[in-house]
């Protein structure tokens, strides 16, 4: 395994705080279907990955059930990613997040 860079280590507290805030805002339910996932509930999916500002950009994160997460990874096309970005944008705007270019 590759060691975690100092830059990434510095981002982790901000990332964990953002994930917990987003999780509470979605009430630990999928932002795609509204379903409650199996324990531990739902998990964050990084639509365009975690590189650059993708780790801490709320517009790049969507909470999904385990089954939804597996399905998205199985059918992870450019069009699907774009559709997820368009889907999550009004949700994040309603939550008060400022738009960040990915």
Helix H or strand E encompassing 46 = strand 43-46
Domain count, the chain: 1
CA-based max dimension of the chain: 39
* 90: three-class secondary structure by DSSP: helix
Please give the residue range of the domain that contains residue 49.
6-94
For the chain, the first-to-last Cα distance in angstroms comes to 27
- Give the pLDDT band of residue 40 (cuts 50, 70, 90): low
For the record, the structure tokens of 23 come out as 């999780």
pLDDT of residue 4: 74
Residue 63 lies in a domain: yes
Share of the chain above pLDDT 70, in %: 92
Residue pair 35/69 in contact by the 8 Å Cβ criterion: no
Mean pLDDT of all residues belonging to the chain: 88
Write down the pTM of the prediction: 0.85
pLDDT of residue 79: 94
Q: How many CB atoms lie within 10 A of CB 74?
A: 7
pLDDT of residue 35: 86
- Give the pLDDT band of residue 2 (cuts 50, 70, 90): confident
**Best CA proximity match to 55, nearest among 22, 27, 93:** 22
Residue 101 lies in a domain: no
Residue 99 lies in a domain: no
Residue 24 lies in a domain: yes
pLDDT of residue 71: 92
């Amino acid at each position: 395994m590759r060691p975690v860079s100092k830059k990434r280590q510095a981002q982790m507290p901000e990332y964990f705080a953002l994930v917990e805030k987003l999780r509470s805002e979605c009430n630990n339910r999928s932002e795609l279907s509204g379903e409650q996932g199996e324990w531990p509930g739902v998990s964050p999916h990084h639509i365009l990955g975690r590189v650059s500002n993708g780790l801490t950009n709320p517009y790049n994160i969507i909470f999904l059930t385990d089954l939804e997460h597996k399905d998205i990874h199985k059918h992870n096309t450019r069009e699907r990613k774009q559709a997820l970005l368009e889907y999550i944008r009004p949700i994040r705007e309603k939550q008060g997040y400022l738009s960040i270019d990915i």
